[in-house]
Structure 1
Amino acid sequence: MMTVNEVSKIAGVSIRTLQYYDQIGLLKPAEYTESGYRLYDDTAMERLQQILLFRELEFPLKEIKDIVDNPDFDREKALDQQIELLTLKKEHLENLIAFAREIKTTGGRKMDFSVFDNSKIEEYAKKAKEEWGNTAAYKDFEKKSAGRTKEDEKQLWSDFMQLFAKLGEVKNDSPDSAAAQSIVKEIQNYISEHFYMCDNKILLGLGQAYASGGEFTENIDKAGGAGTGAFAFEAIKAYCK
């Protein structure tokens, strides 16, 4: 765990900014001390990296929150998009530098304004934002989460993790056992009721995330014991067949 001061120094983000991110729900600490100090774990730091990459690309905070909170959020896909956008931005800056140097070297006028055109970057960024914000699952998620308080969200997440705690109790059984399959059905129903309609295709995609080694895996393994995330994926694959 790291304190807010340590995170501020490591990430180059002011303490006030981190406090603001917490207030708007963009970056919540892993926990708070009894004195109310913020503590951040590796999962929170991974999320901060995503936020800062999107900030480098000048995404508004609300849009960043919408993207990273999206139930379809795929870290690898986001990184691919960020790499592409950063590459386009790098090429744009290199063209501007070359243009300025040419003017300095020739000492003359160069009536060419095409080098200032960044429409390619804007178009790609627009497309990326639309991909995250226009999915049916996300629209369903927005509708079902409307009006929920932070306490409501906390309770929903706690109840959801209890299902993985149950799954952890049978993780030494076969993934296609009746007990495991029954719990997978409970997970699917819970997601559909409280978050968004979870068909088998979406469930299978979530199963991959549960075993990917990221934030989902850490939380699931914390609830059901080491290996629960991987077992959940195998049980989901069996269920979706």
Structure 2
Amino acid sequence: MAMKVKEVADLTGISVRTLHHYDEIGLLHPEETTGAGYRLYSDRNLEMLQQILFFRELGFPLKKIKDIVTNPSFDRLESLTLHRKMMLEKRNRIEQMLATIDKTIQHAKGEIAMTRKEKFEGFDFSHNPYEQEARARWGNEAVEESNATLQGLSKEEQKVMGDRMNDIYIHLASLRHVLPDSGAAQAAIKEWYDFLNSGVVGHHYSLEAFKGLGQMYVDDERFTKNIDKFGEGLALFMRDAMAAFADSNKES
């Protein structure tokens, strides 16, 4: 049975205005709009709305959500599985921080003693476990440039950069079942190439280095595991897409 917009708002806890906005921007069109202008939402609409709200909970911007859910290769079940993994990671980080807060409160009351190390458990400043491999592969100069650039960014700038990286990974994950040398795949991998060479990581990747980086995504299981969190097989897809991009853009 179809639901009116006010009923959907009451059910989900989001506002009627928000639902209208989702309709206006093409993110969630109701199944039907009556002659009197009433929006009617089907069960299929509610499933999509749930998906959208999961993305919102994880901090995705509306434009990116629209790009993902309207992509012909979008797989709802696969996306839900990814959401679960990401939320479990988020929960684990929160639980670690809560444990540190609880211990700190007890320490402040004189109930327990905390070591210096314990006071900072749960904080994550994106330590890069692959730095040694990067140094060996691309040289110390490239790594030092990248580190210096990252350290010079504010926390907000680092967050923006992290969000942009996630957006690119998510977009690539949505395309990983198409041919790596297809137009869509190559346009998406160019975004990754342009991002790496935009100055935010402090180093310029030649086409050959870009191709080699893609190979490392597959050769090093830690890279593979990290990248495949966005979708199984993504690392392999990126390697092939990066190789195709490098080969097709070489100067003749």
The normalised TM-score by structure 1 is: 0.52
Equivalent residues, number: 141
1:29–1:40 Cα contact (<8 Å) kept: yes
Change (3 A) 1:29 1:55: same
Change (3 A) 1:56 1:118: farther
Q: Could you tell me which residue of structure 2 aligns to residue 139 of structure 1?
A: 184
Change (3 A) 1:55 1:119: farther
2:100–2:121 Cα contact (<8 Å) kept: no
Q: Could you tell me which residue of structure 2 aligns to residue 69 of structure 1?
A: 70
In 2: Cα distance, 1:128 partner to 1:63 partner = 9
Secondary structure, in 3 states, of the residue corresponding to 1:116?
A: coil
Instruction: Report the identity percentage.
Output: 40
| Pair 1:56-2:87 in alignment | no
RMSD: 3.0
Change (3 A) 1:100 1:79: same
Q: CA deviation at 1:28?
A: 0.3
2:3–2:41 Cα contact (<8 Å) kept: yes
Q: Could you tell me which residue of structure 2 aligns to residue 6 of structure 1?
A: 7
CA displacement, residues 125-177 of structure 1 (integer Å, 9 cap, x when unaligned): 5533431267567838x9xxxxxxxxxxxxxxxxxxxxxxxxxxxxxxxxxxx
Q: Could you tell me which residue of structure 2 aligns to residue 101 of structure 1?
A: 102
Secondary structure, in 3 states, of the residue corresponding to 2:122?
A: helix
Change (3 A) 1:49 1:33: same
In 1: Cα distance, 2:95 partner to 2:74 partner = 31
Q: CA deviation at 1:118?
A: 6.6
Change (3 A) 1:71 1:28: same
Pairing of 1:17-28 with structure 2 (within 5 A): 17-28=18-29
Q: CA deviation at 1:116?
A: 2.7
In 1: Cα distance, 2:173 partner to 2:36 partner = 41
Q: Could you tell me which residue of structure 1 aligns to residue 235 of structure 2?
A: none
Pairing of 1:1-241 with structure 2 (within 5 A): 1-107=2-108, 110=116, 112-113=119-120, 115-117=122-124, 119=126, 125-126=166-167, 127-132=169-174, 139=184
1:66–1:133 Cα contact (<8 Å) kept: no
1:32–1:38 Cα contact (<8 Å) kept: yes
Change (3 A) 1:133 1:43: same
2:28–2:45 Cα contact (<8 Å) kept: yes
Unaligned runs of 5+ residues in structure 1 are 143-241
